Amino acid sequence: MSLFLLVFFLLYGGMHFHAYRKLSGAFSLSLPAALFLLLCMGVMICAPVLVRLAEREGLESIAIPLAYAGYLWMGFLFLFFTTSVMFDSVRLLLRLSGLLSHGCQFTDRQTFLASLFVSLLVVVYGCHEAGDIRTEKVTIRTEKLPPSLPRLTIAQISDVHLGLIVREKRLKAIVRAIENARPHVLVSTGDLVDGQMDGMENLAAELRKLKPEYGKFAVTGNHEWYAGIGPALDFTRRAGFFVLSGQSYQVGGVLNIAGFDDPAAVRTGITGGNESDILGKVPRGEFTLLLKHRPVVDKRSVGLFDLQLSGHVHKGQIFPFGLLTRLVYPVATGLSNWGISSLYVSRGTGTWGPPIRFLAPPEVTVIELVKAKNGTQE
């Protein structure tokens, strides 16, 4: 964790330094104005840590507004950094190619204002997109459904991040989307919660309203372990979910569901069972659903499950960050085939950090298993 904080402060501090250089290059700042700006930037750099400290002390009246201010600023700063680098790169290329004459130059002030305008525009739109929950439908044809059940509907939520920012209003919209899908099974593929669980009984009660025929199942994500695994599991269970931790479960004689803890559990000394060994004991005649937070397919397990559901990546949440996440997780979103097994990666249902999404709208995924003679996918 200390290494993570060091890297975070170096990168985040570097983006603040870049923004300060751009602003001071565009406008002549007096000494008091420069000092005030640096002080404000210092507070914003520390805001994520200050939010967690206030939250742990039960100071929600301070933590919530600080979270909104700090994380909105974080999203804006990331967008400003990428936009200004893009404008500077274009300006350099034009100058090197000779297309930008000495009589037609873009000034530092013009590029700063253009970057500022674009970033603010994206932030405003991104706040809207973050609340625009889409229903993504996936159809999978399989021979493994019993004759008495020609169609089975599974709803997936992932990375909801219930906490200081994602609260009642957003959760009610998520619950409505799930209710409209009328699933037989509901699964949560990790990061249902984010932060302290105190005072969130109303959120658990909202999730308890969902009562699919074959139950609700969940696995942990990395943020359950960061928030405190005990309270996180308690909340998940009070919300009506059966938590799978290195185990499989037979659902109504029609479906096998296996689930495994996020690798973050290893840091606490907890090691789950061997994935391929546990899947190898699952009856092969029924459809096997595998729940894992991170979209990593264990090659030893391919063929032992039919469909893996994952999240974690958020499709980057704010473009162009998704281009970086693809370096670590090549399958960032959607359905992919792995021989006779498949992987579906959700874009996530909530937001982490900035309450912004850009070109990565949140989703509730509805998977329709349809009985067919040949196992094909759409």
Q: Are 17 and 80 in contact (CB under 8 A)?
A: no
Q: Is residue 377 part of a domain?
A: no
Weakest mean pLDDT among 52-61, 96-105, 240-249, 276-285: 96-105
The mean-pLDDT minimum among 123-127, 251-255, 286-290 falls in 251-255
Residue 72, in any domain of the structure: yes
- At 375 the pLDDT is 42
| Average of per-residue pLDDT values in the chain | 92
pLDDT interval class at 101 (50, 70, 90)? low
Residue 106's pLDDT is 76
Query: Is the separation of the CB atoms in 190 and 312 below 8 Å?
Result: yes
Q: Is residue 125 located within the same domain as residue 141?
A: no
Rounded distance between C-alpha atoms, residue 157 and residue 172, angstroms: 13
| 28-37, 67-76, 106-115: the lowest-pLDDT one | 106-115
Q: Are residues 337 and 323 in the same domain?
A: yes
Record the pTM.
0.93
For residues 182 and 80, membership in a common domain is answered with no
Predicted pLDDT of residue 102: 56
Residue in the structure block whose two tokens are 């067919």: 372
**Domain end position, chosen among 97, 130, 163:** 130
User: Of 130, 154, 183, which residue sits at a domain end?
Assistant: 130
Which tens digits make up the pLDDT trace of 185-243?
999 999 999 887 777 889 999 999 999 999 999 999 999 998 889 999 999 999 999 99
DSSP tag of 145? S
